[in-house]
Amino acid sequence: MNAKFILFTSTTGLILIILLAMGCADVGYYQQAVSGQWQLLSLRRPLAAVRDDPATPVALRERLVLAETIREFAVRELRLPDNGSYQSYVDLARPYVVRNVFAAPPLSLEPKTWCFPVAGCVGYRGYFDEAGAERTAAELRTAGYDVFIGNVPAYSTLGWFSDPLLNTFIDWHPGRLAELLFHELAHQRLYVPGDTAFNESFATFVGRLGARRFLIRYASDEDRDYYERLARVRQQFYEVVAPTKAALAALYVSDLSSAAKREEKARLLAELVARYEALKAGEWEGFNGFDRWFYQDLNNAKLASLRAYTHWVPAFRRLYEDHGEDLERFYIAVEALANLEPVARIAALERQLTLASAQTGEADEPEAG
């Protein structure tokens, strides 16, 4: 799962103004954001310097060359921004770059949101500071929220800075690496403040479309087969989760007492874990890549977080097909949607979603984020 975690300016005076404007309660949060972003930027090394360094392992050199090829493809074939992003490298010496805190009420699938300059309101709060993430999560749990913390391997500054390649994802399978870089560059092409579902679904669609195009051009049959197997696993993951989300949504608006709702919620979540275990032991032949997701903090916050990354993906796919599978025409159509008022934008996407569902029978959330 990716984050849009933004440092708003590198000018010290303006940072101070922002911190003061946010009030004392938020100063610590923004200080750790500024410090973490500044540290990351200060560690960047140009790709040529890393490749030419005798201390660089051969395997890393090969991955950096692959990432350069992916980036060139993004600019040339996908019409994504040609800027300084992904032309440098950072080894953070940890397996993730930030930790995102998600929260939702115990009897609702509506995520708690936080609002920021530029990015607008989003359904998570990102931390470079691990202890800060844990403190916020503990406070939210004490306040009665369902909470989980997601470890994030990549994020975007939306073009404000030149985002580097990171050790947290550079070793990924070629298809996944391509999808991630295309996803993040898509955010740099188009981002609507405050509309997480629109932004993430758009980037998810572009990322997956681009990954398949890239693999056809540059990858082996084995790599293409692996990526398609991964896509099927993601599809099945959502097919397992979707009935539980629907049942919980209906439960939370029912006339049952709060105590009865909590009891039924526990039953539905246990039933979901059982379905996952059956799938893992059966068709997945022991593949356990989702164990952490199902066995740690399986709650409303985790379920609510899934929607943003995939909810509108079928709608964007339908829009792409409606425009002759021409990316430039597709981008123009998406930009027109972005310029609509939120209610009108949602209505337009709902129409596309309905048409996509009627055409293919796809569910609301056909793929994993």
pLDDT digit string, tens, across residues 333-350: 999 999 999 999 999 999
- State the pLDDT at residue 196: 87
Question: How far apart, in whole angstroms, are the C-alpha atoms of residue 352 and residue 205?
Answer: 14
State whether 126 and 19 are in the same domain: yes
State whether 93 and 227 are in the same domain: no
Question: How far apart, in whole angstroms, are the C-alpha atoms of residue 123 and residue 196?
Answer: 8
CA-based nearest residue to 366, from 318, 330, 297: 318
- State the pLDDT at residue 3: 45
State whether 233 and 184 are in the same domain: no
Q: CB neighbours (10 Å) of residue 241?
A: 22
Contact 199, 187 (CB under 8 A): yes
Question: How far apart, in whole angstroms, are the C-alpha atoms of residue 290 and residue 350?
Answer: 30
Residue given tokens 């202890």 in the structure block: 131
Pairing type for strands 98-104 and 125-127 reads antiparallel
Size (the chain), residues: 369
Q: Is residue 163 part of a domain?
A: yes
Q: Kindly give the confidence (pLDDT) of every residue in the chain, 369 residues in length, as a single tens digit, with 9 standing for 90 and above.
A: 444 443 333 334 434 444 444 444 577 788 888 888 898 999 999 999 999 999 999 999 999 999 999 999 999 999 999 999 999 999 999 999 999 999 999 999 999 998 877 667 888 899 998 999 999 999 999 999 999 999 999 988 888 889 999 999 999 999 999 999 999 999 999 999 889 899 999 999 999 999 999 999 999 999 999 999 999 999 999 999 999 999 999 999 999 999 999 999 999 999 999 999 999 999 999 999 999 999 999 999 999 988 777 889 999 999 999 999 999 999 999 999 999 999 999 999 999 999 988 765 444 443 332
- State the pLDDT at residue 156: 87
- State the pLDDT at residue 360: 56
Strand (E) or helix (H) holding 44: none
State whether 144 and 49 are in the same domain: yes
Question: How far apart, in whole angstroms, are the C-alpha atoms of residue 312 and residue 202?
Answer: 7
Buried b (16+ CB within 10 A) or exposed e, 211-223: bbbbbeeebeeee
In a 13 Å sphere around the CA of 116, the CA atoms on its Cβ side amount to: 23
State whether 170 and 259 are in the same domain: no
State whether 67 and 159 are in the same domain: yes
Q: Is residue 17 part of a domain?
A: yes
Q: Is residue 7 part of a domain?
A: no
Q: Is residue 1 part of a domain?
A: no
State whether 182 and 244 are in the same domain: no
Count of domains observed in the chain: 2
Last residue of a domain, one of 219, 239, 265: 219
Cα Rg of the chain, angstroms: 21
State whether 207 and 257 are in the same domain: no
Q: Which amino acid is at 279?
A: L
State whether 135 and 207 are in the same domain: yes
- State the pLDDT at residue 108: 97
- State the pLDDT at residue 15: 43
- State the pLDDT at residue 14: 39
179 torsion bin: left (phi>0), alpha (psi -120 to 50), beta (else) = alpha
State whether 172 and 38 are in the same domain: yes
Last residue of a domain, one of 186, 202, 219: 219
Q: Is residue 4 part of a domain?
A: no
Distances from the Cα of 282 to the Cα of 68, 178, 242, angstroms = 39, 30, 19
Last residue of a domain, one of 166, 188, 219: 219
Q: Is residue 73 part of a domain?
A: yes
Q: Is residue 295 part of a domain?
A: yes
- State the pLDDT at residue 122: 82
State whether 268 and 195 are in the same domain: no
Q: Is residue 2 part of a domain?
A: no
Give residue 20's domain range. Answer: 12-219
Please tell me the pTM assigned to this model.
0.87
State whether 329 and 227 are in the same domain: yes
